[in-house]
């Protein structure tokens, strides 16, 4: 197997569910040896997030987040298992953990204790909230972060239904996981240049709020504010997928001349002759009217007809696919994004490839996601050498 760019980097992974495991899977995809430490009995809670032909503990979500890792079960309140953990940390390059600070201190696995054992270690602490604020010891899950960041009030701004709602995705967990991965790589690069290990805090609340408010802080950017928060283009109720005669299509009209092209395709160039749309300022100010007219016109064409015409006119467009149809997308399959693999306990399954592709330095194939404690004896043996 071709070695990866992180070949030789040893990561002790005491994270679970999505945030931390997403970060460490990216490291494993790049070649790091990720040793997943799990609690006795159930292991990572995400093992139980859905049904599997391999039986309990190998849910689809777990498979999607834990390839390339080795699993060992350790009871960190047990003195013998705690010594195994300390032995693993003694020569590790990184310790990734999502246990809250006070619990880590009780276990003797806080940064002060671990860095005393291994001064060059990169200590990646995946937390819910920044540890110097009043929320420092609160629990955090995707839902509460969507609520606290204002994200749950975005859909009401679009459709007028005042009830706050979550975006139906573990988006806060995954965004924070990406922040964790780049933070880990930056700290490893810093250590390579200086020899210094360090503590790295990755707070989900701050990571996701930064992600969402990049555009949605909007008029509140200024002091005094020029208006309310919320990027108008994203919360425009008329900027939605357009109905066709046989489905729906997404068409992005981003430049001013694109309006001429799309109304030409829909054979209604006369609509733009209205004085309201005579210049750039008018088209921006009257965007709702333009979108409403598009929605009235698009049902006269099939999705395929409109898609071909948009692509020919250099307009960004894609059909709206049902979630169940994405696995058959011709582009994703041609690029190898969906890979069919065989798991010794689960059988055939579909794996999503690491989406970033490098010219060199990525492993040919990573281990399949591990069963609970699959590598227990092997990993325990590492501390006896």
Q: If you write DSSP's letter for every residue of 123-146 in order, what string do you get?
A: EEEEESS-TTSTTTT----HHHHH
Enter the tokens of residue 241.
């997928």
Averaged pLDDT score across all residues of the chain? 95
What does the alpha-carbon distance between residue 294 and residue 12 come to, in Å, rounded to a whole number? 54
Q: What is the mean pLDDT of residues 134-162?
A: 96
Mean pLDDT of 74-90: 96
Tell me if 199 sits within 8 A of 109, measured CB to CB: no
Specify the pLDDT at position 101.
Answer: 85
| Other residues' Cβ atoms within 10 Å of the Cβ of residue 280 | 10
Contact yes or no for 164/152 (Cβ under 8 A): yes
Average pLDDT over residues 50-55: 88
Residue 120 has pLDDT above 70, yes or no: yes
Q: CATH assignment of 242-319, given 2.60.120.10, 3.30.360.10, 3.30.565.10, 3.30.1540.10?
A: 3.30.1540.10
E strand or H helix that includes residue 11: strand 10-14
State yes or no: pLDDT of 385 exceeds 70.
no
- Assess whether pLDDT exceeds 90 at residue 44: yes
Report the percentage of the chain scoring pLDDT > 70: 99
The CA-atom distances, in angstroms, between 363 and each of 16, 68, 69, 215, 339 are 24, 10, 13, 36, 15
Task: Note the pLDDT tens digit of each residue in 59-75.
Answer: 999 999 999 999 999 99
Closest to 371 measured CA to CA, from 1, 9, 33, 70: 70
Q: With bands split at pLDDT 50, 70 and 90, how would you rate the model's confidence at 139?
A: very high
More confident residue, 3 or 31: 31
Q: Across residues 366-384, what is the average pLDDT? A: 91
Nearest to 239 by CA among 229, 253, 227: 253
| Helix or strand run (H / E) with residue 49 | none
In this predicted structure, what is the pLDDT of residue 333?
95
Give the model's confidence band at 151: pLDDT under 50 very low, under 70 low, under 90 confident, else very high: very high
pTM for this structure?
0.93
Q: Which of 210, 207, 24, 22 is nearest to 129 (CA)?
A: 207
Q: Are 66 and 44 in contact (CB under 8 A)?
A: yes
The structural domains of the chain, with segments of one domain joined by +, span 10-211+333-382, 242-319
pLDDT digits (tens, 9 = 90+) for 281-301: 888 888 889 999 999 999 999
Is pLDDT at 1 greater than 80 in this prediction? no
pLDDT, mean of residues 203-224: 97
How confident is the model at residue 266, as a pLDDT? 97
Are 204 and 183 a contacting pair, CB within 8 Å? no
Contact 210, 136 (CB under 8 A): no
Segment 353-378 shows an average pLDDT of 88
Q: Are strands 248-251 and 242-243 parallel, antiparallel or unpaired?
A: antiparallel
pLDDT at 285: 87
CB 233 within 8 A of CB 290: no
* Unique residue bearing structure tokens 């995809």: 29
pLDDT of residue 145: 98
Task: DSSP letter for 317, please.
Answer: E
Which residues lie below 8 Å from residue 63, measured CB to CB, with a gap of 6+? 52, 343, 346, 349, 351, 369
Tell me whether strands 10-14 and 33-38 are parallel, antiparallel or unpaired: parallel
CATH class for domain 10-211+333-382?
alpha beta
Helices 204-216 and 171-194: crossing angle, nearest 10°?
A: 110
Whether 10-211+333-382 shares its CATH topology with 242-319 is answered: no
Q: What is the mean pLDDT of residues 360-371?
A: 82
What distance in Å separates the CA atoms of residue 350 and residue 342, rounded to the nearest whole number? 9
Task: Tell me what pLDDT residue 22 has.
Answer: 98
DSSP state of 200: E
Residue 361 has pLDDT above 80, yes or no: no
Average pLDDT in the 374-382 region?
A: 93
Structure tokens at 355: 């989406």
Q: What are phi and psi of 317, to 5 degrees?
A: -155, 145
Q: Tokens 């969906």 identify what position?
A: 338
Query: Taking the CB of residue 234, how many other CB atoms lie within 10 A of it?
Result: 13
Runs of H (alpha helix) within the chain: 19-29, 60-65, 79-90, 101-107, 111-117, 142-148, 154-159, 171-194, 204-216, 256-265, 280-285, 287-297, 303-312, 330-334, 376-382
Query: pLDDT tier at 174 (50, 70, 90 boundaries)?
Result: very high
């Amino acid at each position: 197997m071709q070695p990866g760019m992180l070949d030789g980097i040893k990561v002790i992974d005491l994270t679970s569910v999505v945030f931390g495991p997403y970060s460490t899977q990216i490291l494993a995809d790049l070649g790091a040896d990720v040793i997943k430490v799990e609690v006795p009995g159930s292991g990572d809670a995400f093992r139980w997030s859905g049904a599997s032909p391999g039986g309990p503990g190998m849910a689809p979500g777990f498979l999607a987040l834990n390839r390339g890792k080795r699993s060992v079960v350790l009871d960190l309140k047990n003195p013998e298992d705690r010594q195994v953990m300390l032995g693993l940390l003694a020569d590790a390059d990184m310790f990734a953990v999502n246990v809250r600070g006070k619990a880590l201190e009780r276990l003797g696995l806080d940064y002060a204790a671990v860095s005393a054992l291994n001064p060059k270690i990169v200590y990646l602490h995946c937390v819910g909230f920044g540890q110097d604020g009043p929320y420092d010891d609160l629990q955090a899950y995707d839902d509460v972060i969507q609520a606290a960041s204002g994200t749950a009030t975005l859909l009401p701004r679009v459709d007028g239904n005042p009830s706050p709602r979550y975006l139906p995705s573990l988006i806060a967990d995954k965004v924070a996981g990406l922040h964790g991965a780049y933070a880990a790589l930056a700290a490893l690069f810093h250590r390579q240049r200086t020899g210094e290990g360090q503590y790295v805090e990755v707070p989900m609340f701050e990571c996701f709020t930064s992600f969402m408010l990049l555009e949605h802080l909007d008029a509140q950017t200024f002091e005094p504010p020029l208006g309310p928060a919320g990027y108008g283009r994203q919360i425009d109720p008329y900027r939605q997928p357009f109905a066709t005669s046989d489905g729906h299509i997404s068409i992005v009209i981003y430049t001013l001349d694109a309006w001429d092209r799309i109304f030409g395709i829909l054979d209604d160039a006369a609509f733009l002759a209205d004085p309201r749309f005579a210049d750039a300022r008018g088209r921006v100010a009257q965007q709702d009217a333009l979108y409403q007219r598009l929605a009235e016109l698009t049902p006269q064409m099939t999705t395929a007809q409109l898609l071909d015409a948009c692509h020919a006119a250099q307009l960004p467009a894609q059909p709206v696919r049902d979630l169940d149809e994405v696995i058959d997308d011709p582009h994703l399959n041609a690029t190898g994004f969906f890979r069919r693999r065989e798991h010794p306990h689960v059988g055939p399954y579909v794996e999503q490839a690491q989406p970033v592709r490098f010219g060199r330095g990525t492993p040919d194939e990573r281990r399949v996601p591990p069963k609970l404690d699959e590598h227990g004896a092997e990993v325990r043996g590492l501390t006896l050498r």
